[in-house]
Structure 1
């Protein structure tokens, strides 16, 4: 079993509390959690999410530099169907049409990402044409009455930063490179973007890209070696958040910055102590190893024990202080839940195993298990009392060759079940502040190519015109959002 089991592994007005720090004792962990107390109000965020590399295409248009995913797509066998994202959905040229689709569905919030190699040239200078493109996208969103949530890093590192001399996230130099990129984005767009995410699913691009090799840049090495990249990502996050808060947020309670983690819930499915301990171990090993540092300033003790020989996990006092409280909200991408059960006769040992739960999808790793979402939200609320949580991705995939692709009743059921859980979480008083559906368009699903379809709008990739056809799930969202 690799460190990550899969590539994804990926109504009302609510009062928010948060912009000055106060401390709540967390007795279970003997730590305190800095919570940013906002005094204003905001409506719950119903949004739709997407990512630049998966939809934009235009891989070399208007001065765009190459990314590690452009390179990875050229590696034989790297993409399951042998395709690439050179054209993808051509959102680069059709953004107005696609934003109108999102508006017509009733969404008021639009999660997007900026492509690093589109806005910064290989020589480190701004690419003004790429910057102008994102400005036009923000114009279109404003015209449509939609609020942007922008992810700085959704996996498409410039190829010029992944070389023998500069090995991407394995190099400490990447921290200052990311800082320079983020500074440019903030300087050009911060006044128009109220919600920022530093990294999307860092565990996936670190362990998938720098350990397992199934994601770009395709490096295969030990988990211990990949932990160096974990350290650099976290320190880069802390540095960028400090920049944003000091120069661009300036105490504005309507502006927020956070990080998005890939999550699945792990639950004991038998009554054994072994299963209970196994579920807690997996939650800490896969989620808290990222969320604890940005909340408490350090890794979970269990994670440090598992990787006891790693110097990468030894954070200095200054690094811990920089990380501690470095999010205004925690973004979670939730798709599925795994069960944990004892894997030996009662009393004969302490081994446990992972089992799949719920209805299967078009991807082996994804089963629909909505109850796991409320259980995960409760677990997060118990570990981090008062911390705002936003579901930044939630969706269901069907096969690319599904003959009834537009009549996606299974996806409708998935959204129905999970939005019911969202309402339940709100009714329970859990600090859930938003939900973004993944995704608007069928798109390039990384190493899965076009074999997995998550869109509520069908895109015919066999037709050069890339026609869009709304699915049953799109119409369901229209009806749902009209009533919400």
Structure 2
């Protein structure tokens, strides 16, 4: 090979003996409405809490906003062609609640039609449609009335789910009610890192309860209106490991996972919040009305699992924990440790502790890196390595008996990374935010090659 010849791409694929390599396993890419659509004032779209948060000085890195994002609202046809060309089985997207309803809860037909056209084109390309109803963009007018601290928001969410499942009936393969309720509750209402920027553990626990209540009510509407579609929820999960083997540090790691994982899974799969939350956060219990927990614990067709990194913990000397640094480890652009074993550990743990664990889809997994276009190419070898190691971790979990049905890489393309703006790039596809030029990174090309080979084989 001459020195001027391009180096061959490293392969991106699960272990060849894994069920993940067979046709029945679902491979996809994922995005979220606020992160890619832009057009925040088009066709009657209302303001969301993230529009307000972006406009608040100091909340988002570099003062970035979602006003333009990836301009997907205007480029969706070409973007769908790009998704189809990758060869994936499915596309996970979210609907923008502020785009489809007005302040009085009446349908905004122009916004609804945008999603109908998008879903129809995805179907025409042979792609399964995994639709998330809520990926954090709460209409601002609802936040003005208390947001997720107001029980009424759960009922407004159910009305939104009812409307969209009637409008989109037959167009959707799978519905997820919420994306990452832990982030909405804790980052939005507990520490203020995300919109709407409130900071109280008591707020976080009440917001979580209303989010999960809204989920349960929404599932009832989805089942009634579009019974042919799958129904579930997407949650982010955190792996905690103790700094030492001392009982206090082991307990600290357990409390971390209880707060990150069982706070959500307990109500969904056991119909109860973990009792230890009250010792971790005394005096912060939410108001729970009779029948709420039964509504939340609706049967799930699937659980979407999002995983990115682990956290090391030590005891705070009392009833809590302190996060500690792990030195000399590989990290991503976000500063997150690359720890694939955590994904396997979590999946195996959930199966052992929740006998009614539904089938699982890995709905987000990926990494941010400071990717640059050089001579029309983007060399992101770390991302290929990252994904291969996480594919292998899921393959081991499947071998151990966990029912994992699919894997969605986060993300299809670089986009608005919430409080980090446009600096952090998670995409398989590079986006030049000035020109909106899309460039497939090496990871996208390697993923495309694997998917093509799988279909041929």
Deviation per residue, 1:213-260 (Å, 9 max, x gap): 22112223x2113322111111111111122224432xx5xx321111
Determine whether 1:156 maps to 2:131. Answer: no
The reply to whether residue 445 of structure 1 matches residue 424 of structure 2 is no
Residue of structure 1 in register with 2:337 after alignment = 367
| DSSP 3-state at the match of 1:278 | helix
Write the mapping of 1:238-387 to structure 2, written as runs, cut at 5 A.
Answer: 238-249=216-227, 252=228, 255-312=229-286, 314=288, 316=290, 318-341=291-314, 353-357=322-326, 358-364=329-335, 366-387=336-357
2:172 maps to what in 1? 193
1:418 and 2:390 matched: yes
The alpha carbon displacement at 1:307 in A equals: 3.4
SS of equivalent residue, structure 2 residue 413: coil
**Structure 1 residues 482 and 355: alpha-carbon distance in aligned structure 2, compared to 1, 3 A threshold:** farther
Change (3 A) 1:350 1:119: closer
RMSD: 2.5
For the Cα contact (< 8 Å) 2:256–2:321, is it kept in 1? no
Q: Residues 394-473 of structure 1: matches in 2 within 5 Å?
A: 394-399=365-370, 406-461=378-433, 463=434, 465-473=435-443
> Hey, what's the Cα distance between the residues in 1 that align with 2:240 and 2:289?
28
Are the equivalent residues in 2 in contact too, given 1:299–1:313 (CA < 8 A)?
A: no
Q: Distance in 2 between matches of 1:403 and 1:293?
A: 49
The range that moved more, 131-140 or 300-309, is: 300-309
Partner of 1:208: 187
The structure 1 residue matched to 2:110, chosen from 129, 146, 149, is: 129
Partner Cα distance (1:401, 1:76) in 2: 28
1:71 offset after TM fit, Å? 1.4
Match of 1:474 in 2: 444
CA contact (8 A) 1:363 1:399 kept: no
Q: Which runs of 4+ in 1 moved over 6 A?
A: 11-15, 400-405
For the 8 Å contact 1:337–1:356, the answer to whether it is kept is no
Q: Which residue in the other structure is 1:20 paired with? A: none
Q: Is the 8 A contact 1:274 1:351 kept in 2?
A: no
Question: Is 1:53 matched up with 2:25?
Answer: no
Q: 1:179 aligns with which of 146, 151, 158?
A: 158
Q: Is the 8 A contact 2:232 2:302 kept in 1?
A: yes
Hey, what's the Cα distance between the residues in 2 that align with 1:342 and 1:155? 32
- Indicate how the Cα distance of structure 1 residues 67 and 189 shifts in structure 2: closer, same or farther if over 3 A, else same: same
Structure 2 contact 202–285 (Cα < 8 Å) conserved: no
Q: Distance in 2 between matches of 1:42 and 1:237?
A: 31
User: Deviations along 1:169-194, whole A, 9 cap, x unmatched?
Assistant: 11111122111111111001131112
Check conservation: 1:268, 1:278, Cα contact below 8 A.
yes
Post-superposition CA distance 1:293-346 (Å, at most 9, x none): 011111012113333433416453x222222244222211100112235688xx
Distance 1:333 1:208, change over 3 A: same
- Asked if structure 2 preserves the Cα contact closer than 8 Å seen for 1:227 and 1:313, the reply is no
- Judged with a 3 Å threshold, the aligned counterparts in structure 2 of structure 1 residues 42 and 319 are, in CA distance, closer, same or farther, namely farther
State the Cα distance separating 1:403 from its structure 2 match: 7.7
Unaligned runs of 5+ in 2: 1-15
Once the 2 structures are TM-superposed, how far is the Cα of residue 116 of structure 1 from its aligned partner? 0.4
Q: Is the 8 A contact 2:97 2:138 kept in 1?
A: yes
| Distance across 1 between alignment mates of 2:383 and 2:243 | 26
Q: Larger deviation: 205-214 or 47-56?
A: 205-214
**TM-score (normalised: structure 2):** 0.89
- 1:94 maps to 2:72: no
- Cα pair distance change 1:56/1:334, threshold 3 Å: same
- For the residues of structure 2 that align with 1:151 and 1:351, how far apart are their CA atoms? 33
Which residue in the other structure is 1:224 paired with? 202
**Structure 1 residues 444, 333: CA separation in 2 closer, same or farther (over 3 Å shift)?**
same
TM-score scaled by length of structure 1: 0.84
Pair 218,351 (structure 1): closer, same or farther in 2 beyond 3 Å: closer
Q: Which runs of 5+ in 1 are unaligned?
A: 1-10, 16-40
Counterpart of 1:338 in 2: which secondary structure? strand
Deviation of residue 263 (structure 1)?
Answer: 1.3
Residues 103-157 of structure 1 deviation map (CA, whole Å, 9 limit, x = unaligned): 2112111000000010112232111111110011101111211101000000111
Distance (whole Å) between structure 1 residues aligned to residue 87 and residue 157 of structure 2: 34
SS in structure 2 at match of 1:43: coil
Q: CA–CA distance in 2 between the matches of 1:12 and 1:171?
A: 50
1:392 corresponds in structure 2 to: 363
> Larger % of strand: which?
1
